Amino acid sequence: MTIAKETAGLLAKLGVAEAALSGGDLIVRSPVTGEQIAALKTIAPAAAAETIDRAHKAFQTWRLVPAPKRGELVRLLGEELRAHKAELGRLVSIEVGKIPSEGLGEVQEMIDICDFAVGLSRQLYGLTIATERPGHRMMETWHPLGVVGVISAFNFPVAVWSWNAALALVCGDAVVWKPSEKTPLTALACEAIFKRAAERFGDAPEDLISVLIGDRAVGEILVDHPDVPLVSATGSTRMGRDVGPRLAKRFARAVLELGGNNAGIVCPTADLDMALRAIAFGAMGTAGQRCTTLRRLFVHESIYDALIPRLKK
């Protein structure tokens, strides 16, 4: 079986129709073999803006739903992810090139954040504060923001979305997701999985979760739209330098997860066997495609000769 056929079969099990995989201008290839696995249609900027408008309408309904009930939708999403962990994990491996354990591990992260968010739905506490005015008190009440924009990178194609979406849903927000052009298939799969959870939930508004398949221009629509008060963007430092000021210009909020220049420090008292394992995994795990990847290593001179030759091996 070719990877293209396997991909179509996995997507069918996850709820994505085979017709959606052809006829478009966005060519998707698996880094495993270089084989083309889809040709997706992209959304025009004007249509992307309309999608955000519909998401805003969904938000106006969803924000009035009690938080514990919103948590029930996220609980159902977690159940659907558990039921389809094998298929989605395999799809991550095909589209990104991750080893099977890392593909499955990423889906497990999605399940874990759903569990966390469900608990959070009953813990949206606010402070009650004393005041000098007789017969009065001050209190905090947390209000939903609106449409949350998510721009994700290729290296964690599904986990990043879930980290944002699970929390946003519990907090009463709608989500519009612009995935990397390198990994759109996993985004379509997540959208289909969420739709099944929403059907089981029963009365979730339409367009609560939306996916925008497109290029930089589509991302710019999301960043600049006045009805998107928060954008969570994952990618390069260069991207963050562009996105951050654009959001600040209209007083929107930014969650930027960008590249890191991470270092390891090995002290004289370190367990060298443990240090070697940690250094190797930190530098080479996920093929080095992580914002937390180890790029620099500082070793105390007293153990340099004992560590570095072993590291080179």
Told to judge if 257 belongs to the known catalytic residues of this protein, a careful annotator would answer: yes
Cβ atoms 103, 109 nearer than 8 A: no
Which candidate, 177, 183, 193, places its Cα nearest to that of 155? 183
Catalytic residue among 80, 87, 106, 257: 257
Catalytic residue among 6, 79, 220, 291: 291
Burial class from Cβ neighbours inside 10 Å (0-12, 13-18, 19+) for residue 283 reads middle
Told to judge if 191 belongs to the known catalytic residues of this protein, a careful annotator would answer: no
Active site residues: 257, 291
